[in-house]
Amino acid sequence: MFHHVRQCTISGFGNIALLAKLWSNYIIPLGYYADSVRHALISLGASHRSYIGDYPDEHQAADLQAYDDVAARQYAIATRHAARDLQNLDSTTIRTSLVCCLVFVCCEIMQGRYDKAVFHLRSGCKMLASLEDAATWTQSQTATSTTRQRCMAETVSRYYEQLCNIADMFNCLAFDTAFLMEENGLIPDLSFFLRASTEADPSRAFTTAAEARYDAHRVERAFGLLLGFTFRGSFRPSISWSSFLEFPEEPTSPEEDNWLEEWTAARLLFDEWSSRLDLYVRNVRANPSATRDELWEAQLLSFIQKDWTIFIKHCERSLETPGHETFKELLDEAEAVVLSEIADIAQKPSFTLAADVIPRMVFIAAYAGDPDLQRRAIDLLFSMRRREGMWDSREIATILESILIARECSLWDREFEKVSLPRLAGMLVSLKLCEGTRPLPLATLIN
């Protein structure tokens, strides 16, 4: 299973993982000499093997149970080693504990225990916050700092860049989860580990997709904090999923919410990123030696750019409610991105860390207004068999489709739709209005 993680799970994270090299160049090698990380990775491998075989036409139930049993045993061993590491704190065990939290998050997501994944996500973020506190306290109060504080401060001093990479991964997972839960409080303040940004020249193209993705992460962070990590939160009154979502006739603008200055800064960040991305994409497409992965990454980044452009223009009321052709074009691009990246989409489901495609498919399904476009978006979500962090394409498609069915039921109230997707999942389950025999992992997040 350790081999499976290295060869299949990590490679499956693919180009859209914000820091894929963190896994291949640091976390996997760490598993060779740190017991806690090794057993956590074996558990991850077994969980992933069960996840990709979790379809009736591919594996027998007994095979899946065997993988689940291995995952559970290795997970228990990993947690025992991790607990011992925390009792013997040093620079190594601090970092292995953070890595274990990341691996545990992935294990729990693949097992469908999203609530426990959030627990480990918060635990890792708290540990990083403690490292910051120790570093700042020891710097100003060296004489009164404890041995534990000095150890943590030394770790920050010696391994700051490494901790920045780990913090970036926690931030990436936290932002995607916050948009899903529509919960601003989930986001930790890890700005201490945020690398200082250099002055960007809008006329200079990004040199790599990784650079473009990192700056895209900054843009999404800026807008996410402004919007309260909910697209619906930028409108008054709150609007519902599915009309799916009808846009209100007069959407709230940044000026009316008294955050024009913050909005302007975020918009400037987006405009600079967008300008540099256009140049990068043009260079990649003009390069005859560009790899398939580079071309796909450029295609994905362009799709993300267009999605944000539509939403920003609507918020600023510089454009009327996006019409049929706008959403059709966006949906066409989404289909191209999905089908070009997953050539064997019918053979096995995929799991990745960064929620880049599915939230935007939900945006199309929710806001398009046109029943045909909504159906196309839901059908694409069903066909994707893809999980991006806690955004599962089939689960969300099931929820969106169940809403349409539930509207014909006397138990359903349109007011139910003015909540987050996890709460919608909980309502559908409690009212027995959700089709299918599989549980909805999203419902675990409502508490």
Any idea which residue has 């149970």 for tokens?
A: 65
Any idea which residue has 């992965």 for tokens?
A: 293
**What residue numbers bound the domain in which 125 lies?**
1-193
- 124-145 tens-digit pLDDT: 999 999 999 888 887 776 666 7
Q: What is the mean pLDDT of the chain?
A: 80
| pLDDT, position 285 | 94
Mean pLDDT of 163-178: 89
- CA atoms of 274 and 268, how far apart (whole Å): 10
Do 44 and 156 sit in the same domain of this protein? yes
Do 145 and 291 sit in the same domain of this protein? no
Residue after which a domain boundary falls, among 139, 172, 193? 193
- CA atoms of 206 and 277, how far apart (whole Å): 6
Residue 63: pLDDT over 60: yes
- CA atoms of 251 and 235, how far apart (whole Å): 5
Do 338 and 246 sit in the same domain of this protein? yes
Residue 36: pLDDT over 90: yes
φ, ψ of residue 240 to 5 degrees: the values are -100, 165
Do 154 and 237 sit in the same domain of this protein? no
Any idea which residue has 């499976």 for tokens?
A: 4
- CA atoms of 411 and 390, how far apart (whole Å): 28
Let me know if 97 is exposed, middle or buried by CB neighbors in 10 A (0-12, 13-18, 19+): buried
Residue 42: pLDDT over 50: yes
- Residue 83 in tokens: 């607990």
What's the total number of domains in the chain?
Answer: 2
Mean pLDDT of 105-123: 93
Mean pLDDT of 31-44: 92
Do 144 and 255 sit in the same domain of this protein? no
Do 19 and 161 sit in the same domain of this protein? yes
CB of 18 within 8 A of CB of 172?
Answer: yes
- CA atoms of 364 and 370, how far apart (whole Å): 10
Do 189 and 237 sit in the same domain of this protein? no
Residue 94: pLDDT over 90: yes
Q: Hey, which residues does 352 pair with through a beta bridge? A: 388
Do 280 and 427 sit in the same domain of this protein? yes
Contacts of 23 (CB under 8 A, 6+ apart): 10, 13, 17
Do 188 and 323 sit in the same domain of this protein? no
Separation in Å, CA 437 to CA 54, 63, 413, 433: 13, 20, 24, 12
Do 305 and 362 sit in the same domain of this protein? yes
Residue 387: pLDDT over 80: yes
Do 290 and 228 sit in the same domain of this protein? yes
- CA atoms of 349 and 53, how far apart (whole Å): 8
CB of 419 within 8 A of CB of 87?
Answer: no
**Three-state SS letters, 230-262:** CCHHHCCCCCCCCCCCCCCCCCCCCHHHCCHHH
Mean pLDDT of 7-27: 72
| pLDDT, position 23 | 87
Q: Rounded to two decimals, what is the model's pTM? A: 0.86
- 71-87 tens-digit pLDDT: 899 999 999 999 998 88
Contacts of 319 (CB under 8 A, 6+ apart): 313
CB of 319 within 8 A of CB of 325?
Answer: no
Mean pLDDT of 352-361: 85
Residue after which a domain boundary falls, among 193, 217, 237? 193
Residue after which a domain boundary falls, among 159, 193, 227? 193
Do 167 and 268 sit in the same domain of this protein? no
